[in-house]
Amino acid sequence: MLLVTGGAGFIGSNVVAGLDEAGRGDIVVNDRFGTGENWRNLAKRRLADVIPPDDLIDWLDGRKLDAVIHMGAITDTTATDGDLVIATNFRLSLKLLDWCTTTRTPFIYASSAATYGDGAQGFADDWSSAALRRLRPLNLYGWSKHLFDLAVSERCAQGGPLPPQWVGLKFFNVFGPNEYHKGEMMSLVAKRFDEAKVGKPVRLFKSYREDIADGEQKRDFIYVDDVVAVVRWLLETPKISGIFNVGTGAARSFRDLIEAMFRALSREPNIEFIDMPPAMRERYQYFTQSDVENLRRAGYNGGFTPLEEAVTRYVTGFLDRPDRYR
């Protein structure tokens, strides 16, 4: 039996889909639904059980699991409720880490590229305590993820107890189906698709750096299928532990991303550049690019989908269809 926390969320539901498609019929999802639409992310899946977050710790008592895949978190980079974010992203993660340690259960968890802050220290996934301590996340979400990475790293360095397999995944700019409930946290492709579809221009922020043209701000965009492939490989390779970047290793511009979307729609690109809100200008990241050498050295050779192919797959397979869900 596998437990996927945050299993109704974006990455979590794609992990569930990948496992379900691979024939796993023993998947338990931990998430909350409320009155939202995130249940649709799981509507096509077989599930052994669905556990509300408030019941999770009690449910775990006496259980035997093949692995815990901990994707659950408050992922809003604009979140301001520090107590809630720490309780959800840090303290619950510690409880799950301790449970997996006691029960000898593999533990794979979501970290984030937000832990790198403005990128001044680079994007190498050196998970030594000394390297992690140099990072300065820019928001509460990033800090909460960084805090847990530090706790795990220091426990490892001190020879403390850990699960037989423990892996943190620093996800970069993931996009793909089932992200629709995320609102402003959706990828730019998902947010701007409907406008492009009806012929409206897509608006991108102007650049405020002389050495970077408008629309040439860059991110490491990775399709969610590639993320799922990494998770599945780790489940099949239990000897691997550590904290790894999960990106393509190739930064591409927002202009590239949106032009790929227009081409997938067989339309000429129609892009307008607008002023960035003043409050964002001093904290805006102009470049992120994962270093994936650690993942390669660990043995992962699955490759990553090129941006244009990934966007086309997303548009034609999901966004431009009546049913957009995986």
Domain 2-176+221-251+288-305 bears CATH identifier 3.40.50.2300 = no
Query: What pLDDT, on the 0 to 100 scale, is given for residue 304?
Result: 97
Q: What's residue 241's pLDDT?
A: 98
244: pLDDT confidence band, cut at 50, 70 and 90?
very high
Instruction: Name the residue among 189, 188, 71, 172 with its Cα closest to residue 114.
Output: 172
The pLDDT of residue 293 is: 95
Percent of the chain with pLDDT over 70: 100
- The pLDDT, as a whole number, for residue 228 is 98
Of 70, 72, 68, residue with least CA distance to 106 = 68
Q: Among residues 218, 248, 183, 234, which one has the least CA distance to residue 10? A: 183
Residue ranges per structural domain of the chain: 2-176+221-251+288-305
Where would I find the beta strands (DSSP E) of the chain?
A: 2-5, 27-30, 49-51, 67-70, 107-112, 166-171, 173-175, 202-205, 218-219, 221-223, 242-246, 252-253, 271-274
Residues across the chain: 326
Model confidence at 215, in pLDDT bands (50, 70, 90)?
A: very high
Please tell me which residue, 31 or 36, carries the higher pLDDT value.
31
Identified catalytic residue from 109, 116, 141, 180:
141
Catalytic residue among 44, 182, 191, 197: 182
Mean pLDDT, the chain, whole residue set: 96
SS (H, E, C) 230-281: HHHHHHHCCCCCEEEEECCCCCEEHHHHHHHHHHHCCCCCCEEEECCCHHHH
Q: pLDDT band at 32, cuts 50/70/90? A: very high
Select from 4, 2, 3, 8 the least CA-distant residue to 178: 8
Model confidence, pTM: 0.95
Interval 154-203: pLDDT, tens: 999 999 999 999 999 999 999 999 999 999 899 999 999 999 999 999 99
146-157, pLDDT tens digit by residue?
A: 999 999 999 999
141 is known as an active-site residue: yes
Confidence band for 279, pLDDT divided at 50, 70 and 90: confident
Q: Token pair for residue 250?
A: 């190739």
pLDDT at position 25 is 86
